[in-house]
């Protein structure tokens, strides 16, 4: 039975992903900050899918927690999905360096360091799949979310480098770019329904990416074209727009 480690496992996307893989017979390792919430998700998964599930408390931005997670896993998983993320408040991030640091560490520093360590372990074994959930917000800095976007840009670049480093080995790296997703993170935001995916769509996209060894996944393909257009706008014009 293959095993999947889900980091940030209490998020809507992570929980949907855990359910998709459990339905396919994967054993699960759920990691996150709220062990009680993890235990509740694990109990439901075990009941519904009859798969083995272990829970591991881990705040991914803390080095000690990352080390404890890696040292405490019952087995090295076959694949890992990192769904850790923090949107934060852009206006607060502009004036409060502590808040900005929290967003940057949660979206880039912690996940990248954890996935880097797992990549080394996978490489030593010879196989493994790493799935990092980044964001289209990382493809161009915008006035409305550049703190979050800059951290995701770092995450996208890190995953790209990792993928190319291990490109000739049995270690595969997937970058997932969901676009808008209907989750607790976007609750109350005016997101366009036609561009907004459900967590289950993201989970299915991750499943296909792992099965088919895809490199970069836009959950809704239209986002590839939207970001290509946004990226092509000259900087002089872009700074005059309210995008």
CA atoms of 23 and 156, how far apart (whole Å): 29
Structure tokens at 129: 């799949």
| 26 given a catalytic annotation | no
Pairing of strands 171-177, 53-57: unpaired
Q: What is the dihedral of CA 191, 195, 198, 202, to 10 degrees?
A: -130
Strand partners, 53: 28
26, 108, 146, 148: the active-site residue: 148
Q: What is the dihedral of CA 112, 115, 120, 122, to 10 degrees?
A: -160
First to last CA, the chain: 46
**Residues identified as active-site:** 148
């Amino acid at each position: 039975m293959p095993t999947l480690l889900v980091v940030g496992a209490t998020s809507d996307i992570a929980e949907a992903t855990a359910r998709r893989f459990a339905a396919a017979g994967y054993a699960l390792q759920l990691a996150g900050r709220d062990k009680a919430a993890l235990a509740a998700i694990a109990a439901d998964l075990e009941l519904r899918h009859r798969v083995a599930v272990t829970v591991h408390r881990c705040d991914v931005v803390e080095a000690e927690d990352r080390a404890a997670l890696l040292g405490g896993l019952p087995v090295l998983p076959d694949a890992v999905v990192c769904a850790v993320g923090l949107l934060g408040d852009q206006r607060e991030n502009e004036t409060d360096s502590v808040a900005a640091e929290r967003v940057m560490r949660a979206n880039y520093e912690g996940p990248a360091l954890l996935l880097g360590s797992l990549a080394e372990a996978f490489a030593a074994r010879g196989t493994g799949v790493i799935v990092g959930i980044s964001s289209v917000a990382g493809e161009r800095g915008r006035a409305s979310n550049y703190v979050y976007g800059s951290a995701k840009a770092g995450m996208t670049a890190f995953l790209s480098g990792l993928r190319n480093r291990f490109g000739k080995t049995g270690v595969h790296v997937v970058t997932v770019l969901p676009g808008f997703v209907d989750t607790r993170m976007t609750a109350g935001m005016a997101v366009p329904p036609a561009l907004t995916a459900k967590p289950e769509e993201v989970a299915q996209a991750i499943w296909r990416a792992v099965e088919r060894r895809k490199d970069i996944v836009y959950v809704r393909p239209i986002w590839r074209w939207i970001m290509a257009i946004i990226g092509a706008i000259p900087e002089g014009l872009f700074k005059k727009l309210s995008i």
